Amino acid sequence: MLMRYWTVNRRGRSIALIGMMGAGKSSVGRCLHRRTGLALRDTDEIVTGSFEMSVPEIFAEHGEKKFRDAETEALRRVRTEKEMIIITGGGIVLRKENIAILRSQAVIVWLDGDEEALFARASGAQNRPLLQTKNPKKTFSQILAARRPLYANIADIRIDTSVLTDEEVAVAILAKLRKMNPKPKSPSRAKP
């Protein structure tokens, strides 16, 4: 079912998904895209497209700093386009400029969850260079502890994804957006 965008977000802003690796930003973004008809942009995809390399390859060959620069550049580029769903990488909150760009154009939705659930999802795929350590679980825990306050600080909406399917998360986001942007009452007729 396609939900007309204006019925959920009358302020005409984009919807940015933030959160830790494993939070489900990409899959939830695709659900939102199907439900709203809004365009979809993914900063990781823009970055890997510009390097023509995978994220682990970029980290290995160019280092994290170059990846972060390209990530910011990707966000600058999406800023000029019209309303859309913006899927971000988990580290998007590490730079003030990224936060300013997101805040200026989007309702920011934080996909959170239990550490266990997030780690189980994040460690399933082998495409996260930050987790290629001796003790990925501990690394994950440290990154999560450092980032949670950053996510909390900029989020307009927080969803606990631990026990929800991607579709359920998308539905919960749209319901919260509708609540934030209630339908304007039709003007009452002036009394004679």
Binding site for ligand S3P (CB under 6 A): 21, 25, 44, 55, 89-91, 128-130
Label residue 172 exposed, middle or buried (CB < 10 Å: 0-12, 13-18, 19+).
middle
Q: Which is nearer to ligand S3P, 8 or 22 (CB)?
A: 22
Whose Cβ is closer to ligand S3P: residue 68's or residue 178's? 68
Q: For residues 21 and 85, which CB has a smaller minimum distance to ligand S3P in the complex?
A: 21
Q: How far apart are CA 59 and CA 49, in angstroms?
A: 14
How far apart are CB 156 and ligand S3P at their closest, in Å? Answer: 19
- CA-angle at 140, arms to 135 and 145, nearest 5°: 130
Q: Is the Cβ of residue 91 or residue 113 nearer to ligand S3P in the bound state? A: 91
Angle at 160 (CA atoms; ends 155, 161), nearest 5 degrees? 115
Closest CB to ligand S3P among residues 8, 108: 108
Q: How far is CA 189 from the centre of its chain?
A: 43
Which uninterrupted H or E stretch holds 18? strand 14-18
- Smallest distance, ligand S3P to C-beta of residue 188, A: 48
Report the nearest approach of ligand S3P to the CB of residue 164 (Å). 18
Closest CA to 173 of 129, 107, 99: 107
Minimal distance in Å, beta carbon 68 to ligand S3P? Answer: 8
Can you give the length of the chain in residues? 192
Min separation Cβ 21 and ligand S3P, Å: 4
